[in-house]
Amino acid sequence: MNIDKVLTFTLWGDWAHYRRVYTTTSSLTYPFPTRTALSGLIAGILGLERDTYHEIFSKETSAFALNILNPVKTLQINFNLIRTKLGFILRDIKEEGKRSQIPIEFIKEPKWKIYIWLEDKSHYQVLKRHLREHTSIYTPCLGLSELIANYHYEGEKTVSHPYIVKKGETAQIDAIVKKTSETSIKVEKGKKYGHVKVPGFMNSERIVTKYLELFYEQQGKPITISRGVYYRIGKENVIFF
């Protein structure tokens, strides 16, 4: 991939929920949008139809980076869900167990900075126009349709060539860090680290074809690496995933 320029924008809302794929009776959330969720968000802004855009956001044709701006805070709220197989209006459902209480975990007051590169220049330019003019074809949301998102275009940034952290050196990364065999993190005092395995890529049948493992600092502080490859965007260092 020849990542030369990226579009950057801040993304935020009151609440967000990105359901962890392995949860059943209670819905837990990932601490930030997964790569598949970001692909869906961008596809919605562009107006691409459901399950028609996965090739555009493949490993070879796209890249994302994400910086946590607000500390990761979660809150669990109980919801009364209706058994829709029995009907959609409570007063019309006569059977027992017509609803069930399910705890759902939400991210409170999330805010992130997103960096995106697309090989497809036509979609890249359309996305640039939408972000600049604060428009979208479909309403952007943070995981659930009820959780409306807002965003602010930060501009188009030039990406410096990849830098390699040499032996005995370190580098501060201003974004979440993808776990690879070539990357090592230096744990520092005063920082709260997290590790999560998230869906990375899907096919047109919505089957996850690859998962990614990501490290993050819960308060949004930089992560120091003692080994790895990173890119520089202005004054910020990022690792794409």
State residue 91's pLDDT score: 66
Domain, as residue range, for 217: 5-238
State residue 87's pLDDT score: 65
Task: Report the C-alpha dihedral over residues 102, 105, 108, 111, rounded to 10 degrees.
Answer: -130
Q: Which residues of 30-39 are buried (b: 16+ CB within 10 A; e: fewer)?
A: bbbbbbbbbb
State residue 79's pLDDT score: 84
Specify the number of domains making up the chain: 1
- Please name which of 75, 76, 74 lies closest in space to residue 26, comparing C-alpha atoms: 76
Listed in sequence order, the residues at least 6 apart from 81 whose beta carbon sits closer than 8 Å to its beta carbon are: 99, 100, 101, 102
State residue 22's pLDDT score: 81
State residue 159's pLDDT score: 97
- Please name which of 203, 197, 163 lies closest in space to residue 178, comparing C-alpha atoms: 197
- Interaxial angle between packed helices 121-133 and 35-46, expressed in degrees from 0 to 180 and rounded to the nearest 10: 80
Ordered per-residue pLDDT tens for the chain, 241 residues: 789 999 999 999 999 999 998 876 668 999 999 999 999 999 999 999 988 898 999 999 999 999 999 999 999 998 877 766 666 676 666 666 566 778 999 999 999 999 999 999 999 999 999 999 999 999 999 999 999 999 999 999 999 989 999 889 999 999 999 999 999 999 999 999 999 999 999 888 888 999 999 999 999 999 999 999 999 999 999 999 9
- Please name which of 11, 41, 46 lies closest in space to residue 126, comparing C-alpha atoms: 46
Domain with residue 168: its CATH number is 3.30.70.2660
State residue 80's pLDDT score: 76
Read off the amino acid at residue 23.
Answer: T
Q: How many residues are given for the chain?
A: 241
